[in-house]
Amino acid sequence: MRSACHVLGLSVLVVLLYGTSPAAVPNVEVNTPLPPPAWALLERELLRANAAACREFYQRYFDERGYILCVLRWGADDGPDDAIESVNDWPLLHALGGPQEVYELYRRVWEGHLRQYTEARTVEVPLARDGMYYREFPVMMDWLHNGEGLTVFNLQGLSDPRDPLLRQRAERYARFYTGDDPQAPNYDAQHRLIRSMFNGSRGPLLRKATPLDWAGDPLEIEGRFRPRHGERNYQEMLEHFRDYTDIVGDHPQNLLATTLALNAYMLTHDPRYRAWLLEYVDAWCERAAANGGILPSHVGLDGTIGGSADGKWYGGVYGWGFTVRDPATGQMAHRNTCHLAVTGFGNALLVSGKPEYVDTWRRQIRAVNVQARLIDGRLMYPRMYADQGWYDFHPEPYSHGALEVYYWSCDTQDADMLPPNPWLDFLAGRRPEYPVEALQRDLEGVRRQVAAMREDASTPDTRLSDDVMVRNPVHIRSLVELALGGLHPGHVGGPLHCRLRYFDPVAQRPGLPHDVAALVEALDATSVRVTLVNINQLEPRTLILQAGAYAEHQFTLAETATDRIELNAPRFTLSLQAGCGATLTLHQLRYANPPTLDFPW
């Protein structure tokens, strides 16, 4: 540990190590300017453009209460999840350094959303006649849609973990699934299963689902709406869900519910939420091991694989054998959602640090791909399984979750399972132009979405919630990859996995301080290399670096071209002088700390 001030040939000042006393703080100052690189200017512009687009989008599609201006519906075709998905990625934008206004807008939408869909009621669908939400949560729906509808909430803690409503809701939502809420008996602790694919704040649906349960109340379509699934009339909406009946019992997509326990644990540090999360994921690990390495898509109420699906491990709605006719196209559609479960295994890794959870998913990918066969002289890989065996063959290997497995393990052998990925090519030094290309692509995405919004001639009574959702202007995937060295969490309600996160200690808020840009240039199992630059030529900037989205990693050492600084902390503070920058190699122990949403101050 260096003391006092140590002058380097780099423009960086390390001024504070969290967990150390002020007297022990290393003070390293250098004054080497770094002209703002193109990627740095593009990052700052992308943050600015996204925020401006959010403001205009909110003014167009929401009222002063945060209520969405559209026709409200229940169901999987167009329902509450689509409404709140309209502000997906806004929490990430704020956490990256977007202005505080972004947080205020999406939080207003979330609060309005909870009120609006609690007030909204169905007429014919029995599940939601007393309100589509109960206790601020969907009354009963599958986790493909529950997860989508909780994407914003599950990332809100990145913005303000001290919000008392956030903490109350996180615990309430988690208890719907831990077995601790008598009004929501979703979980069977004896068999370690969630009792139905339809579940929520009013508990599980323990009968066969009907097309009406899925599609919602009758709707005038012709000449008024254009449903995103392509249906031309309400009868086709019902036909879409004709075979979506066998929902009783557990399905891998229910593992998305573990993010609720993860949030509650990271906010309260109560070990009960961690224990339930691991108990439920462990049950699925055991089921996969007993099923040849593949997660079964149906577990009966008695805990047996295949259960009420005639003993078929591939049975049930959204199962390995779930192929149905799409009335909009007349074609058969393969709808296997077991891949959504990968989120649960990442959650277990976060709270336990155990790579065994990655092993389970790795084995599934390999177990599917070993079923490849030659078809017309070409090696083809399956996606589905039914009575006749494996089917739905593709020329590309099965790779659902392969990127996550590789990112979590940093094992080069896992890279063999990956499809081409330009971001990983950049990290490997093979595509140096990627940062500028990716940032420009996201800027173009913002422009395109705002242009479409301005041309939208719909009115609130001719607009469905997913019409608003598809206009969401925020594009930040490049920033998650390049600034955080992270995986975009998608829109299924999962957490953020990244190697670095930033805070502004002056403004006391999350994200890169104004004028600061960051580029993660390389990462491996033990280190991450990042360049940080202050594009302001007149004023210094100070930021806190954190190891992981939730301080789950630990910094051990910072290296520059000329110096090594011991850290041994999940966070440290960096001060960039005016117009200066630095490249740091930060050594890390990954998954060394319990994840937390606590801010550094």
**Domain boundaries defined on the chain:** 5-32+499-589
pLDDT of residue 31: 62
Percent of the chain with pLDDT over 90: 91
Q: What is the pLDDT of residues 315-329, one digit of tens each?
A: 999 999 999 999 999
**C-alpha–C-alpha distance, residues 106 and 103, integer Å:** 5
Contact 72, 116 (CB under 8 A): yes
Please report the sign of the dihedral spanned by the C-alpha atoms of residue 293, residue 295, residue 297, residue 301.
Answer: positive
What average pLDDT score do residues 302-325 get?
96
Which letter, b or e, does each residue of 417-428 get, where b requires 16 or more Cβ atoms within 10 Å of its Cβ? beeebebbebbe
**C-alpha–C-alpha distance, residues 108 and 103, integer Å:** 8
- pLDDT above 80 for 15: no
Q: DSSP per residue over 390-455, as a string?
A: EE--BSSPP-TTHHHHHHHH--GGGGGGPPP-HHHHHHTTS-TTHHHHHHHHHHHHHHHHHHHHHH
Phi, psi of 288 (to 5 degrees): -65, -45
Contact 84, 491 (CB under 8 A): no
DSSP classification of residue 325? E
Distance set, CA 322 to CA 3, 92, 195, 303, 334 (Å): 64, 34, 19, 21, 6
- How much is the pTM? 0.95
Virtual torsion, Cα 232, 218, 150, 313, nearest 10 deg: -80
- pLDDT above 60 for 104: yes
pLDDT of residue 21: 40
* pLDDT bucket at 178, cuts 50 / 70 / 90: very high
Q: Which 3-state string (H, E, C) describes 94-114?
A: HHHCCCHHHHHHHHHHHHHHH
**C-alpha–C-alpha distance, residues 39 and 441, integer Å:** 12
Q: DSSP per residue over 200-243, as a string?
A: STT----S---HHHHH-S----TTT---TT--SSHHHHHHHTTT
- pLDDT above 50 for 29: no
Cβ contacts of 189 within 8 Å, gap of 6 or more: 179
Which letter, b or e, does each residue of 478-510 get, where b requires 16 or more Cβ atoms within 10 Å of its Cβ? bbbbbbbbbbbbbbbbbbbbbbbbbbbbeeebb
- pLDDT above 50 for 2: no
Percent of the chain with pLDDT over 70: 95
Contact 588, 553 (CB under 8 A): yes
- pLDDT above 50 for 5: no
Tokens describing residue 385: 């399984």
pLDDT of residue 50: 98
What are the residues facing 396 on neighbouring strands?
Answer: none
**C-alpha–C-alpha distance, residues 354 and 378, integer Å:** 38
**C-alpha–C-alpha distance, residues 206 and 538, integer Å:** 65
Mean pLDDT score across all residues of the chain: 94
For residue 532, the one-letter residue type is L
Contact 50, 474 (CB under 8 A): yes
**C-alpha–C-alpha distance, residues 564 and 547, integer Å:** 18
- pLDDT above 80 for 3: no
Q: DSSP per residue over 110-155, as a string?
A: HHHHHHHHHH---SS-GGGTT-SBSSSSBSSB-HHHHHHHTHHHHH
pLDDT of residue 1: 32
* pLDDT bucket at 544, cuts 50 / 70 / 90: very high
Q: What is the pLDDT of residues 486-536, one digit of tens each?
A: 999 999 999 999 999 999 999 999 999 999 999 999 999 999 999 999 999
- State the residue for tokens 């740091």: 584
- pLDDT above 60 for 462: yes
pLDDT of residue 185: 98
Contact 40, 519 (CB under 8 A): yes
pLDDT of residue 266: 98
For residue 52, the one-letter residue type is A
Which contacts qualify for 38-42: CB closer than 8 Å, 24 or more apart?
Answer: 38/436, 39/435, 39/436, 39/439, 39/482, 39/517, 39/519, 40/517, 40/519, 40/533, 40/535, 40/581, 41/517, 41/535, 42/435, 42/436, 42/439, 42/440, 42/443
Which letter, b or e, does each residue of 430-464 get, where b requires 16 or more Cβ atoms within 10 Å of its Cβ? ebeebbbebbbebbebbeebbeebeeeebeeeebb
* pLDDT bucket at 542, cuts 50 / 70 / 90: very high
Phi, psi of 352 (to 5 degrees): -110, -30
pLDDT of residue 227: 81
Distance set, CA 477 to CA 276, 339, 366 (Å): 31, 21, 28
Q: What is the pLDDT of residues 407-423, one digit of tens each?
A: 999 999 999 899 999 99
What average pLDDT score do residues 58-80 get?
97
The enclosing H or E element of 55 equals helix 38-61
Cβ contacts of 281 within 8 Å, gap of 6 or more: 255, 258, 344, 345, 347, 348, 357
pLDDT of residue 14: 44
- pLDDT above 90 for 291: yes
- pLDDT above 50 for 19: no
- pLDDT above 90 for 123: yes
Q: What is the CATH number of domain 5-32+499-589?
A: 2.60.40.1180
pLDDT of residue 561: 82
What average pLDDT score do residues 294-313 get?
96
For residue 188, the one-letter residue type is D
For residue 239, the Cα-to-chain-centroid distance in whole angstroms is: 31
